[in-house]
Amino acid sequence: MLTTSIANPSNVTSLAERRLLHETVVDQLRDLIVQGELAPETKLNERVLAERLGTSRTPLREAIKFLASEGLVELLPNRGAVVAALKPEKMQEVFVVLGALEALAGDLACRNASEADIADIRALHYHMLAHHARGELAHYFRYNQQIHQRIIDCAGNATLAQAWRAMNAHVKRARYLANLSGERWDKAVKEHEEMIEALTRRDGAKLQMLLRDHLANKLVMVMEALQARKTEVVR
Amino acid sequence: MLTTSIANPSNVTSLAERRLLHETVVDQLRDLIVQGELAPETKLNERVLAERLGTSRTPLREAIKFLASEGLVELLPNRGAVVAALKPEKMQEVFVVLGALEALAGDLACRNASEADIADIRALHYHMLAHHARGELAHYFRYNQQIHQRIIDCAGNATLAQAWRAMNAHVKRARYLANLSGERWDKAVKEHEEMIEALTRRDGAKLQMLLRDHLANKLVMVMEALQARKTEVVR
DNA sequence: TCGGCTATTTTTGCATACAAAAAATGATTG
DNA sequence: CAATCATTTTTTGTATGCAAAAATAGCCGA
């Protein structure tokens, strides 16, 4: 699942908690950044943030260092940390790398996925189609993400999966800005259709290519969204 | 010392670069792990390690969290952290991902590298040849690493470079175990020869292929080294 | 001797205290 | 009035303190 239930605002003390505070803080902070609640280039005030997350500065700082390694925050010596900027150039870089990783994953998935795996992915695909038909963007994104995630998982390479997740965090962040136009959305769905087909036929070379193209198109959408945001700010 | 001498051109972190204890500790700890001074699966005792690095537990813990995100250490809830294990399966995974990243970098480098860049890389190559001729393994490795690093840098994608560095850390760690046999070593050098040639001709497709093969061969060597270490322990 | 229980020690996880650096404020002077 | 510098305030970076969990040692009984 994408987000851990954030429900728990206050105490962690009452129940016997297996999970470490550090991890929950990492997840909470990552969600705040990915979902845009902490906008790009926002300064992270440790005292304020720690209070907001119901913890002290120590675990928060550890979480910040962890996310810095993922690239979601940037460390400024003696000046704390800021949410990583969301620059077009950075997005281009991320998409290039993500393209290579997904292409690899697609190829591996075609070899390693079980029939049950493929059936699952196809099921997710139909859910996604349903939400597309109803114009339910948020739900569409959710299933879209799950499909990509499952393809990665089917590659059977945990290291690849982790690298992908880190890159994908940046993309997800941009997604929250994107307003899919009807025609672009239809095109994306069509591409998914072909991807599912290639996966079913276990045509690794084809899937690889489709994933690359799909990502290239996503990049175009994200860049447009970033451009729109920029002019909006200026206006 | 390897990492410090690299005098890095492409920035891993942000613009403002000033010395901070945290960064120092991260680099020191990473070196200890990569160079095998802290062996795989070693428990990291915070008090002892902090004293060894001349600092307190707080910055050390932050460094540990940072490296955990890079995958060099593993966090055990309520039981601290250990140096990541060096398992054959993990190595296979890393090499597959690294193959995709280097292939991508090779392709991009063929397009983006300046003539001066290529000349630099060729110069490094000849240094490497010299050390190979003299059987100076450590120096050979150093130039070998620099060549790969420079190819990555020439791709002109800082995000790619960072992902590569993280993966490469795992490989470097395994390197310190590897004793190159004469014939394998000769083969590796020959592969480098071809790579330099492809880069000079800016034949991206060819370089991509060569890098993949080169890495596949490296994997074989690493696996043999791991196997040897295992039997050695058993014996 | 061995296994399991409790008590002690060690170690981790989190909070807080303190010092140094940066930012904000304000006063003085040209 | 602006600019610069000194002073206060805030924020970060590091060390330390303390409670809880884990590891270890010691003890007893079968």
pLDDT digits 0-9 by tens, B44-90? 999 999 999 999 999 999 999 999 999 999 999 999 999 999 999 99
Whole-number Å distance between alpha carbons of B47 and B22? 16
pLDDT of A81 > 70? The answer is yes
> What is the strand order of the sheet A81-83 is part of?
A43-44, A81-83, A73-75
Work out the average pLDDT over A175-194.
85
pLDDT of A235 > 70? The answer is no
pLDDT of A4 > 90? The answer is no
Whole-number Å distance between alpha carbons of B34 and B31? 5
* Neighbour-count burial for A120-144, b at 16+ CB within 10 Å, e otherwise: bbeebbebbbebbeeeeeeebbbbb
Helix or strand or coil: residue B114? coil
Q: Which residue has the higher pLDDT, B150 or A3?
A: B150
**A117-141 confidence digits (pLDDT tens):** 999 999 999 999 999 999 998 999 9
Torsion of CA B21, B65, B37, B54, to 10 degrees: 30
| Reported confidence tier of residue B224, pLDDT bands at 50, 70, 90 | confident
Would you tell me which residues have their CB within 7 A of strand C? A 20-22, 55-59, 78-79; B 18, 43-47, 57-58, 61, 75-81
Q: In one letter, which amino acid is A227?
A: Q
Distance measured from the CA of protein residue B44 to the C1' of nucleotide D23, in angstroms: 15
Closest CA relative to residue B36, chosen from B7, B2, B76: B2
Q: Tell me how crowded residue B78 is: count the other CB atoms within 10 A of its CB.
A: 7
Whole-number Å distance between alpha carbons of A223 and B232? 55
Are B70 and A69 a contacting pair, CB within 8 Å?
A: yes
Whole-number Å distance between alpha carbons of B83 and B75? 9
Question: How is B200-219 classified by DSSP, letter by letter?
Answer: HTT-HHHHHHHHHHHHHHHH
Which nucleotide shows the minimum CA-to-C1' distance to residue B78?
C12
Instruction: Give all domains of chain B, ordered by start, each with its CATH number.
Output: 14-83 (1.10.10.10), 88-234 (1.20.120.530)
- The pLDDT of residue A18 is 52
Q: Which residue of A12, A107, A159 is the best one to mutate when testing the B interface, meaning the one whose CB has the most B CBs within 10 A?
A: A159
Q: In one letter, which amino acid is A24?
A: T
Are B215 and B170 a contacting pair, CB within 8 Å?
A: no
